[in-house]
Amino acid sequence: MGSYNEGKREVCAWIRERFDRDSKILDVGPSDGKWRTLLSDYRHMDAVEVWKPHADRCRGMYEHVYVQDIKDFEYDWYDLIILGDVIEHLTVEDAQKVIDYAMERCRDMIVAVPFLYKQGEVGGNPYEVHIQDDLTRELFEKRYKGLMVLCEARADYCYFHKDEGITGTTD
C-alpha cells in the first residue's frame, strides 16, 4: 500500500508552522520518499527503512538512509519523527515500544495510520503485511495513549501527533 495523499497538505502546513527548515527530521519507512519530496526545503532529513530495495530507491534523497528495522534503530534526538504507515506493520507490543522510545527522543512525531486495512506482501516485500489490520480510531487511541488526532484525512485514515500531556503508550 502506498500512503494516501489526503491530509498530507494539511500535515505539511502544520509542520511548517512548528518546525524551522534546519530541524532534524526522521522519516520511518519512507518507501518512495514521499515525505522527503513534500518537505524538500528541509535541510536535515534522515530515513530508516527495513527493506533494502526501498532504502536503495531513497538514497540521495536523504542525508542518511539507514537500512534497519525501526524496532532496533537507536538514535539520540530528532526534532520531528514521521511514522507514515508504519504502526500497522508492527505488533501492538513492538509499536508501543517504538513510540515510547521515540517519545523521549523527539519534540513531536506524526503517526499516519489506515484503519481496518488488510494487506499481505506487496511486490515481494514481506514487511508490507499489516499485522494490526484491526485498527480503528478508537482502538488506536486506546493502544497509543500518548498520541492525539492531528488530522482526520478520511474515515479510514488518520494522522496523530504527540499529546504533550502524556509521555507514552503505557501511561
Give the count of domains, the chain. Answer: 1
pLDDT at 167 over 90: no
In tens, the pLDDT along 70-108 reads 999 999 999 999 999 999 989 999 999 999 999 999 999
* pLDDT-derived band at 1, boundaries 50, 70, 90: very low
CATH number, domain of 84, equals 3.40.50.150
Which helix (DSSP H) or strand (DSSP E) does residue 82 occupy? strand 78-84
The answer to whether position 167 is within a domain reads no
Model's pTM, two decimal places? 0.91
Greater confidence (3 vs 142) lies with 142
pLDDT, average across residues 125-146: 86
Q: How would DSSP label each residue in 20-46?
A: -TT-EEEEES-TTTHHHHHTTT-SEEE
48-52, 64-68, 109-113, 161-165: segment of lowest average pLDDT: 161-165
The answer to whether position 1 is within a domain reads no
